[in-house]
Amino acid sequence: MKFGTVAPTFPPIEEISKTARRLEEKGYNSLWFADHLMGWYPHDMWKETIFSMKYPSCHMFYDAFCAISYASTSTQKIYLGTGVTEVFRRYPAVLLQQAVTANHATKGRFILGIGAGEAENIIPYGIEFDKPASRLEEALELIRIMLDSDYGEILNFDGKFYRYKNAVFDLKPVEKIPIWIGAHGNRMLKITAKYGDGWLPTTMPPEIYSEKLGVIEKEMKKEGREFSELEKAIFVSLVIDENRKEVEKILSQPLMKVHGLLLPSEYFRMYGFEHPFGEFYGLLDYIPTNYTKEEIIEAVNKIPDEIIRLAYISGTPEDIIQIFDDYEKAGVEHIVIWNLTYFGDFTKIKSSYQLIDEVMSHF
């Protein structure tokens, strides 16, 4: 089992290189940089947390590609990836230029994590957010064409979303750029099977992971691809403590329950509940600035405990080891950990990371 984690994305920028170096020394295989303009919480909710004393807003994000290139100078082995980018804000040629630049900066250690996009980073900025899966698929086709082109080759492309006329793309990577796709729905799973070198979905139960991985395997066979070519990963939001009662207390905090809103309506229906916002796909639909603090609190108070537990991997170290074992049996090879324990209790910063070290050492 390989392990990754998330990189710091808020100022000061020196934290990025210092943290990247420390995580490499600890044995992490990968480090992932959020490509966001906006965080998950309404500002009025964030400013009441203790974290606002150091970070006055949760909406301060460095550019992911710049941050990766910056981190590359202080590391030698750890892989550095976007977790994840999209093709609404970054036109395919510009996206690929940034990706190849990061590939050069990292000497081949860059992973292009990409997905369909999140409404919060697109709609508020005046960008039309339509047909995300179709747009991504065409962009990936175009990226493949650009990477496969010869020096000086004239590129013409007449797609539904993108059109090239007498274009060139001659900046080539020093090593192949692995493309990991954040996919959940069937359409996105098929795109992963066709274009992905890795699959990086967010937290889901091991049995659902196994089911979706089966879809990818079937589709890869149709594409004539070897299933072994795909790195099977998962991005998990984690809450850990030696005491289960403490875990439950942390999960009950309003800031933590916001992540339940990011789950799709189908997860709520699986347990006989309705999403507080109706027919809703959190990662695609949620825009925190559309809601007041009071509206968010009212919504999260309607989320049952069973659903909150679906949004996280949570428990004691022994519980987490068992869950990770279940993931391994489901086919997972690479777990990216986002430790959110201290978002629910800031006194748990040091202890939670120590417990994660214990879990990793088991593997």
Contact call for residues 116 and 139 (beta carbons, < 8 A): no
Confidence of residue 174 (pLDDT cuts 50, 70, 90): very high
Task: Check whether 14 has a pLDDT greater than 90.
Answer: yes
3-state DSSP call for residue 32? Answer: strand
Location of structure tokens 């303009």: 37
What confidence tens digit (pLDDT) does each residue in 248-302 have? 999 999 999 999 999 999 999 999 999 999 999 888 899 999 999 999 999 999 9
Q: Per-residue pLDDT averaged across 197-221, rounded? A: 97
The DSSP line for 115-167 is ES--GGGTGGGT-----HHHHHHHHHHHHHHHHHPPTT--EEEE-SS-EEEEE
Q: Per-residue pLDDT averaged across 45-68, rounded? A: 96
Cβ atoms within 10 Å of 52's Cβ, excluding its own: 14
Q: In the prediction, which pLDDT does 20 show? A: 98
What confidence tens digit (pLDDT) does each residue in 89-115 have? 999 999 999 999 999 999 999 999 999
Share of the chain above pLDDT 90, in %: 98
Q: How many domains does the chain have?
A: 1
Contact call for residues 213 and 183 (beta carbons, < 8 A): no
- Say how far apart CA 357 and CA 341 lie, in whole Å: 14
Q: In the prediction, which pLDDT does 281 show? A: 86
3-state DSSP call for residue 171? Answer: coil
Write down the mean pLDDT value for the chain: 97
Report if residue 171 sits inside a domain. yes
Q: In the prediction, which pLDDT does 283 show? A: 84
Report if residue 102 sits inside a domain. yes
pTM over 0.95: yes
Report if residue 237 sits inside a domain. yes
The DSSP line for 218-278 is HHHHHTT--GGGSEEEEEEEEEE-S-HHHHHHHHTSHHHHGGGGGSBHHHHHHTT---TTS
Report if residue 107 sits inside a domain. yes
Task: Check whether 321 has a pLDDT greater than 90.
Answer: yes
Tokens found for residue 111: 């992973």
Q: Per-residue pLDDT averaged across 192-201, rounded? A: 98
Query: b or e along 87-110 (b: 16 or more beta carbons within 10 Å of the residue's beta carbon)?
Result: bbebebbebbbbbbbbbbbbeebb
Tell me the residue range of the domain where 48 lies: 2-243+313-362
Share of the chain above pLDDT 70, in %: 100
Q: In the prediction, which pLDDT does 147 show? A: 98
CATH number at residue 135: 3.20.20.30
Report if residue 291 sits inside a domain. no
Tokens found for residue 194: 């066709």
Report if residue 160 sits inside a domain. yes
Q: In the prediction, which pLDDT does 242 show? A: 98
Location of structure tokens 């089992």: 1
Report if residue 308 sits inside a domain. no
Q: In the prediction, which pLDDT does 289 show? A: 97
Beta bridge partners, 337, equal 5, 236
Report if residue 268 sits inside a domain. no
